[in-house]
Amino acid sequence: MYVALWPGNVYPLGSCWDGKGTNFTLFSENATGVELCLFDRDDEETRIQLTEVSNFVWHGYIPGIGPGQRYGYRVHGPYAPQEGHRFNPNKLLIDPYTKAIAGEVGNGPELYGYSWESEEADLSFSDLDSAPLMPKSVVVDQSFDWEDDKLLRTPWNETIIYETHVKGFTKLHPDIPEELRGTYAGMAHPAAIEHLQRLGISAVELMPVHHFLSVPGHLADKGLRNYWGYDSINYFAPHSEYSSSGTLGEQVREFKEMVKALHRAGIEVILDVVYNHTGEGNHMGPTLSMRGIDNANYYRLVDGDARYYMDFTGCGNSLNVRHAQVLKMIMDSLRYWVTEMHVDGFRFDLASALARELYEVDRLSAFFDIIHQDPTIADVKLIAEPWDIGTGGYQVGNFPVLWSEWNGKYRDTARDFWRGVDSTLGEFAYRLTGSPDLYYQENGRRPNASINFITAHDGFTLNDLVSYNEKHNEANGEESRDGESHNRSWNCGAEGETDDPEVLQLRERQRRNFLVTLMLSQGIPMILGGDEMGRTQHGNNNGYCQDSEISWFNWDLVQGNTDLLDFTRELIYFRRQHPVFRRRKWFQGQAIHGSGVSDIMWFNPDGSEMDQEQWEIGYAKSMGVFLNGNMIPSPGKQGQRISDDSFLIFFNAHYETLEFNLPQGMQDNQWVLVIDTKEPRFIQEERIYTGDRTVPVTARSLVLLRQMV
């Protein structure tokens, strides 16, 4: 096959079709040679030596090559693992900048740069060709008619996040055509969007959609798959398995159609991204892309022993964000997903690993500086998972301005409170008010810095949180050694499924307690997809490898959980209607014109105000909270004053019913019952409390009263 090769351009990186041909570029500082490998429909390979090198970028232009062309690279250079170099031209490599990938990574010794049979392990050299087992990069046509679509830019304080999985959400949905289930098109289907719209959420946070390693070797041996997707092998290409229309660039168009449909429904798209490590694993892992392109630059290697990788993630390697080209790749990827794919924001997995410049987490690292000054990225939603497994990696509250954080302390405090474990009033109060102890800093952070959640993909579902004391991960094939052992869960009296009506009633009440607490807290609520309809993983708290009915949404559950689903819908609508629960600024505890009534106040069940000693050292299982709707400091969108109803919330995590008195000074008002979590739905009939009439709050339940005007 004759192929004309022109010098081409050094920019942009990746493959770029101009309507007449395609420009190919690849960064490698330490390579001695680069071969571009083109594959025809019969998988016949044509190798073209790239001879032009500018600023360590190897480049060439081939006329006549267009969208749908599959390709890869073979990179020559020293194979010296002890010096950090793992070049092996027998291994076909994925272009780190490709916008689409066709095929799955196979399983076999051909994928590894070393010989499985050698006693020297990874210090040996493999002559096996990996091309038959490797997916191929694809040249794509980026044109797309977005019409008038643009980023929604939903204000943070109006945001309600729904964490879900493209495949899991749609795989079993009975109203989605079977050929679309588990795909981007399925996520864009009217039946899927209708559920999200009726629920009332404002954003979906999609678990990883960057193309990832579906069947790592350690799972293939067990017949399991990488379901969550936290093993990226590329940061530009949407995962091709989620495409119903094809893998030769069609997945790019289908993803865009999904975003466009969700935007049309008023729903933002936030991507869970994994820029801290790749699916190539540790020194014994496969050679799929960056390891074979320029291992010493792309990965953090151990100082003094470059054979091994620094691992701040528990996944075998960490990207070398200290290197300018790696930072550039991450930033190029982020900008691509915003400008070309129209996503509204990102949740950064194990974000502390990105901040590491030496061995410590540095909040002023180059990565955050670059994010801050970038006009495209600084203007979208940025969410950090603020921890990694390295020393000092737990950094909740320490990320800079512009960033919101998954608030693990909120999760832990809420779980402890409702299972009756002693937690101080101060701790619970901080979480309910947006965690000012973590985020109220001079750098300008607001309550939206706190992403509040009770459950997430990593751990129990809400149903399982109130149904299991212990994890049950037998299906993962590791004898339940995997997954978190300290879940702060409580089975309410029976482990797992039960017919005991008292246990079931208590579980239903606890689910409502958690949901109401979440929606009435300052900060940004995040719901785990399926919690609204009682989704269960049967006690499995680590479903990362369960691409099965354990993880997929069972839509039949809706029929048995209509009360829970309707309650959740009402609750989300209620939050959206009342700005007092989603303030943009912190509570100050300041009185109105000397009246003695503050923007927030805390009370004992007898109606007396809690004193300083109770606040600092008191353990709280029951309390009252007053939220003043007349003291919302932030103006509306047009500068108008915002006012709302005022509310009393009575919390009772005690094992007995308690009678709450209306606080002194508020007994002359009339208070109407809105929510009582012992009831399956919002209160419909008018129940009014005033004067010295007490408010009964059932054991382990919550009551919300609205002041009548």
| 437-454 tens-digit pLDDT | 999 876 689 999 999 999
Say if residue 489's pLDDT is above 50. yes
Are the C-beta atoms of 572 and 195 separated by less than 8 Å?
no
pLDDT at 620: 76
* DSSP characters over 519-554: HHSSSEEEEETTGGGT---TT-S-GGG--STTTS--
535 φ/ψ angles, rounded to the nearest 5 degrees: -60, 140
Q: Tens digit of pLDDT for each residue in 289-305?
A: 999 999 999 999 999 99
The CA–CA distances, whole Å, from 41 to 38, 47, 68, 78, 142 equal: 10, 15, 10, 32, 22
Determine the Cα–Cα distance for residues 80 and 55; give it in Å rounded to an integer: 23
Determine the average pLDDT of the residues in 412-421: 93
Neighbours of 88 (CB within 10 A): 23
| First-to-last C-alpha distance (Å) of the chain | 83
Q: Tens digit of pLDDT for each residue in 199-230?
A: 999 999 999 999 999 988 788 889 999 999 99
Q: Tens digit of pLDDT for each residue in 619-645?
A: 778 999 999 999 888 888 888 899 999
Confidence label for 364 from pLDDT (cuts 50, 70 and 90): low
Neighbours of 71 (CB within 10 A): 24
What pTM was estimated for this model as a whole? 0.97
Q: Which amino acid is at 21?
A: G
Confidence label for 6 from pLDDT (cuts 50, 70 and 90): very high
Residues acting as catalytic residues: 349, 385
Are the C-beta atoms of 4 and 62 separated by less than 8 Å?
yes
Confidence label for 3 from pLDDT (cuts 50, 70 and 90): confident
For 335-465, strand residue ranges (E) read 345-348, 381-384, 403-406, 450-453
Helix axes 190-199, 562-577, angle to 10 degrees: 60
The secondary structure of the chain in percent helix, strand, coil, rounded to multiples of 5, reads 25, 20, 55
Say if residue 592's pLDDT is above 50. no
**3-state secondary structure string across 384-414:** ECCCCCCCCCCCCCCCCCCEEEECHHHHHHH
pLDDT at 590: 57
- Residue among 83, 63, 71 at smallest CA distance from 2: 63
Name the helix (H) or strand (E) containing 329.
Answer: helix 324-339
Q: What's the angle, vertex CA 550, arms to CA 549 and CA 551, rounded to 5? A: 90
Are the C-beta atoms of 649 and 703 separated by less than 8 Å?
yes
The single residue listed with the structure tokens 């879940």 is 487
Give just the sign of the alpha carbon dihedral 123, 129, 130, 133.
negative
Confidence label for 363 from pLDDT (cuts 50, 70 and 90): low
pLDDT at 414: 96
Give residue 577's Cα distance to chain centre: 26
Q: Calculate the dihedral angle through the C-alpha atoms of 582, 585, 590, 591, rounding to the nearest 10 degrees.
A: -50
Determine the average pLDDT of the residues in 9-34: 98
Confidence label for 529 from pLDDT (cuts 50, 70 and 90): very high
DSSP reduced 3-state for 425: helix
pLDDT at 358: 57
Q: Tens digit of pLDDT for each residue in 238-257?
A: 999 999 999 999 999 999 99
pLDDT at 594: 45
